[in-house]
Amino acid sequence: MKKHFRNWQPRFYIQDGIYFVTFYIKNRYPFFKELLFCDLFLENLKLCKKIKQFKLYGWVICYDHIHLLLEPSDEWNISNIMHFLKRNFSRNINIVMGYSEFSKIGESADNYPHFRVRKQFFQKYPKTPFPTFQWQKSYYDHIIRDESDFDNHIQYIQHNPIKHNLSDNWRYVFTNPEYMDLIDCLE
């Protein structure tokens, strides 16, 4: 087991460990009430999963926070994954809202999710009503101890939209068939 200290939160890296992770938006601002931002986060999660090669067992997007249940690969630890995901999404959402400049990519710009979302965003909001996006520093993690702990966290994620009084048909949860391509089966 390898130990890592960043800020005030110690991190434990366990070979083949499964982590339940919670991370919040700074000041708990409800950015994810805007569904365009939920879609953008999922695109970033797919990219992160592809690059960092982790297994994803469950996730939910709430208005001001996100829960993930994942298993890092041997090559990338939980800190690498979270750093990539949070940094990438922060950059992309601030580009979408017009707070960050980007270099011209040319005709291929439509292949990047944040450019497609940017067009939709400015059609909906000619002047952004949102502050600059930032995540709360760090994140909370819990190492899954056994099958019962895993099941408890899956159920917690699944019922999180109800707990937070999100709409009855909240679609940004791993149980939505639309997003089954993101989920890995436990072996």
For 58, residues 6+ apart whose C-beta sits below 8 A from its C-beta are: 67, 68, 69, 153, 154, 157, 158, 174, 183
- The CATH-assigned architecture of domain 16-182 is 2-Layer Sandwich (3.30)
Q: What average pLDDT does the chain have?
A: 88
Instruction: Tell me the C-alpha distance between 111 and 46, whole Å.
Output: 14
Position with higher pLDDT, 103 vs 50: 50
Model pLDDT, residue 116:
77
For 148, residues 6+ apart whose C-beta sits below 8 A from its C-beta are: none
Whether the model clears a pTM of 0.85, i.e. scores above it, the answer is: yes
Beta bridge partners of 68: 21, 59
Model pLDDT, residue 119:
84
The residue extents of the domains of the chain are 16-182
Is the pLDDT at 6 greater than 80? The verdict is no
Is the pLDDT at 79 greater than 70? The verdict is yes
pLDDT one-digit tens code per residue, 10-59: 677 777 899 999 999 999 999 999 999 999 999 999 999 999 999 999 99
Model pLDDT, residue 107:
44
